[in-house]
Amino acid sequence: MPLCPALSTFSRSERLLGDESGSEDEEDESSNRDRDVAELLRRMAKALADFYGLGEAKHATRLKSSVVNVVMVTQEAWKVKERPSQLDEPPMFWLRGGRVYDFHGDRGTVSEFENDLLIREVEDDGICRQRRQKQGLLPFPFLPLPQREKAEEQEEEAKVGPKR
């Protein structure tokens, strides 16, 4: 695949604290996970390239193991983008647990990120930023886990007594 400097994706493909005695099953699982992450990063990069009109950049992705799960548009590509942007600097996104993050927080799953850019044609808005809350997930920077319901808290309080 030819490399183009306009759009870059970076993914860590080796384990940080892995030992050499891992089983083949663990290595296969790790390899599958790395392929899945690389595919999600490519989807993010393609959505960005298509949204901003970066031309040939959408065909060029570069994987590098020294940075963890980052997709960014280079300065050169940003200068020749076809779509106006509310951003002054080229965007940079991270992939964590199948969700896309930028400097302002959670943008949703990769599918939601693609939908925002390619279907709704929105760079950023309240819907992107309030998605976690509407999905009943803990707010950023916490892990995107379901929030406890008020009824559950009241039941637990009744069993244990009021919080002090």
Burial of 93 (0-12, 13-18, 19+ CB in 10 A): buried
Tally of structural domains, the chain: 1
Q: Whole domain around residue 132: which residue ranges? A: 7-160
Does any domain span residue 69?
Answer: yes
Q: What is the pLDDT of residue 6?
A: 62
Residue 1: inside a domain: no
- Burial (CB < 10 A; 0-12, 13-18, 19+), residue 119, is exposed
Q: Is residue 47 part of a domain?
A: yes
Does an H or E element contain 94, and which? strand 92-96
Residue 25 counted as domain residue = yes
Mean pLDDT of 130-152: 80
Residue 148 lies in a domain: yes
Q: Is the pLDDT of residue 161 over 70?
A: no
State what percent of residues in the chain have pLDDT above 90.
Answer: 26
Q: Is the pLDDT of residue 4 over 60?
A: no
- Alpha carbon of residue 101 to chain centroid: 5
Structure confidence by residue, pLDDT tens digits, 69-84: 888 888 888 888 899 9
pTM tops 0.75, yes or no: no
Of 63, 56, 52, the closest CA to residue 124 belongs to 52
Contact criterion met (CB below 8 Å) for 108 and 133? no
The whole-number pLDDT of residue 158 equals 67
Task: Report yes or no on 143 lying in a domain.
Answer: yes
pLDDT digit string (tens) for 28-86?
Answer: 777 788 888 889 998 999 999 999 998 765 444 444 445 678 888 888 888 888 999 99
| Residue 2 placed within a domain | no
